[in-house]
Amino acid sequence: MKQQTWWAWWDSPKFTIDCVLANANRQLEADGCVLERIEGGCKLSTPDHLRTGDFVKVQLWLEGEDTFIDIRLAEVRRVHDHWVAVEMIQVSPNDRMRLKQFIDPPAAKDTEKPALLDHLLIRA
C-alpha cells in the first residue's frame, strides 16, 4: 500500500516549469515560468518557492516544434535569483531523442562538445 502512495507522489509534483529552450551551446538554458498546482488548476509562481531537492515537471518547448518535451520528473538542484537548475530524471525515450536531435544536429561540428542532456538551467 505504501508503494502506491509513493508512486502517486512522484507522478504529481506540486510545481511545473513551462519554458522555451533558449540556448544549447555548453549547457541547456531555457526561459519560462513556474506554475504551482492548486485545486482546480494552476497559478503563476516564482522560483523562490522552490527548494533544492524539490521535484518538478518541466514542459520544454523547442523552436519550430508543435509539442513540448515532456520532462515528467526533474529534481531542483539549485535556485539562485530567477535561475533554477534542474536535473532531468524521467523523460520518455522518444522525447530524449527529439531533444538530442534538436541540440546536436547531424551538421554540427565534431569539435564542439554537445550540451549535457540531463541538466537544464531555467530563467523564470
Q: In the prediction, which pLDDT does 112 show? A: 58
Task: Tell me 104's DSSP state.
Answer: S
- What is this structure's pTM? 0.84
How many C-beta neighbours within 10 Å does residue 29 have? 17
89: left (phi over 0), alpha (psi -120 to 50) or beta: alpha
pLDDT tens readout for residues 60-78: 999 999 999 999 999 999 9
Which DSSP string do the residues of 32-94 spell out, in sequence order? Answer: EEEEEEETTEEEEE-GGG--TT-EEEEEEE-TT-SS-EEEEEEEEEEEETTEEEEEEEEE-HH
Number of Cβ atoms within 10 Å of the Cβ of 32: 20
In this prediction, residue 11 carries a pLDDT of 60
Q: What is the dihedral of CA 16, 117, 121, 35, to 10 degrees?
A: -10
> Which three-class secondary structure state does DSSP give residue 83?
strand
Question: Taking a C-beta distance cutoff of 8 angstroms, is the pair 45, 37 a contact?
Answer: no
**Sites in the chain below the pLDDT cut of 70:** 1-11, 105-115
